[in-house]
Amino acid sequence: MDTPRSKRQLNCRICGSGNLRVYLDLGSTPLANSYLRKGDLSAEEFREELALQICLDCGLSQLTTVVNPDLMFKQYLYVSSTTETFRNHCVDLAGSAAVVAGCRPGDWVLDIASNDGCLLSKFRDLGMQVVGVDPAENLAAEASKAGIPTLCTYWSHETAEAVVAGYGRPQVITATNVFAHADDVHGFVQAVDRCLSPKGLFVIECPYVLDFIEKNEFDTAYHEHLSYIGIHPMQVLMGKHGMRIFKVEYFEGIHGGTIRVFVGREGEYPFDASVERFLRKEQEFGIREFRRYEAFGERILANKQRLLKLMGRLHAEGKTIWAYGASAKGNTLMNFFGMTSQLVPVVLDDNPKKWDWYTPGAHMRITGIQELVSAKVDYLLLLAWNFEPEIRGRCQAVGYAGRFILPIPDVRILESANAPKEMRGGA
């Protein structure tokens, strides 16, 4: 019997409640990282509903539909080490976790969904022994070849057993931008508990749901991101498994606003006041109040109309518009807004693995920034807006003198530092 391609999510995956309400429907879209070769552009693409619902009991946001992970993760072109911003963030994470956990040289560190091994390489630089787990066959092979031993599989109880048998119990387990991908979050945490050393540290990083709502970051929604997480629902989850959030840090400049959540077993780490600050902030925000999410959906629809109006006018004036960032969030935006390669034919990306591929749905051709040098481009739509400063710096370095369109949180036009003074100020 064939495995279903997707299933409906009828209950909250954390608290089990059926008290769910849909607040944003992004339509039926292709998978955000399902890039295409030129010869495949005429073939029908797999599409699935992309819609968000809120649990009014615990405050977890989640998709209405869960796509079979094998369709998304077996071959993966996203590489975490692409941007300098994130590489530097990994240095900070490794240093912070090592201090909090009291690591000594030679202690084991496990990274779940370790990608190309970027984060683990920073722990290794500190003298730690490292092991990764990632289901992407291409990335697991590359990381292992680079000296980061990587188990090519999904995180599960069986994987945790294999780690213990082969490497011992890690002093630190990290889960960076993967916890939101997990359907069975209870099984995920149970496997961590099975694997983690007695006084070990579990560190989760994920985009923060309050930023998602308050900053109109709807494009962070795609089929891989099953959950949109705050501290309150995560606290409910950890409490069910004898674990406790004892510290929270926040990084405004990473993925539009990221929380770093430190978790340990009950009584193993001192409780930090940051946890109560975040819980109080979420209470004041109204994390379980539908009106907050309903207003968010209305803002997104209004922003959609503003961007489409601007793009249509520029296209009618004969302006050449490319994009920057062949990212999952960019593919959500392009498909929900109904923009295609007729409007935006080319998207630049810093990851060579994506060059000469085409984006899902919109079918933009992906190339590197070197092509911008000789092309006459009037506007760059910043699809990877979360790396805006770094992208603008790269464009300035190659002499780009056109303008930038920033779509999130509201539509804005930004000037290039290379633009002649007489060209500045107008759209």
Render each residue's pLDDT in the chain as its tens digit; 427 residues.
566 899 999 999 999 999 999 999 999 999 999 999 999 999 999 999 999 999 999 999 999 999 998 888 655 555 555 567 778 888 999 999 999 999 999 999 999 999 888 999 999 999 999 999 998 888 888 888 888 999 999 999 999 999 999 999 999 999 998 999 999 999 999 999 999 999 999 999 999 999 999 999 999 999 999 999 999 999 999 999 999 999 999 998 777 889 999 999 999 999 999 999 999 999 999 999 999 999 999 999 999 999 999 999 999 999 999 999 999 999 999 999 999 999 999 999 998 989 999 999 999 999 999 999 999 999 999 999 988 999 999 999 999 999 999 999 999 999 877 665 544 444 5
Cβ neighbours of residue 377 closer than 8 Å, sequence gap 6 or more:
320, 321, 322, 400, 402
| Cβ contact 382:358 at 8 Å | no
Q: What domains are defined for the chain?
A: 6-65 (no CATH), 84-273 (3.40.50.150), 292-423 (3.40.50.720)
| Cβ contact 175:186 at 8 Å | no
Using CB atoms within 10 A of its CB, is residue 16 exposed (0-12), middle (13-18) or buried (19+)? Answer: exposed
**What is each CA distance from 211 to 112, 303, 318, 334, in whole angstroms?**
24, 16, 36, 21
| Cβ contact 389:324 at 8 Å | no
Determine the 3-state secondary structure of 109 from DSSP. strand
**Alpha-carbon radius of gyration of the chain:** 22
Q: Of 332, 331, 310, give the one whose Cα is nearest residue 319.
A: 310
| Cβ contact 272:94 at 8 Å | no
Q: Where are the beta strands (DSSP E) in 1-124?
A: 6-8, 20-30, 47-55, 61-63, 65-67, 108-112
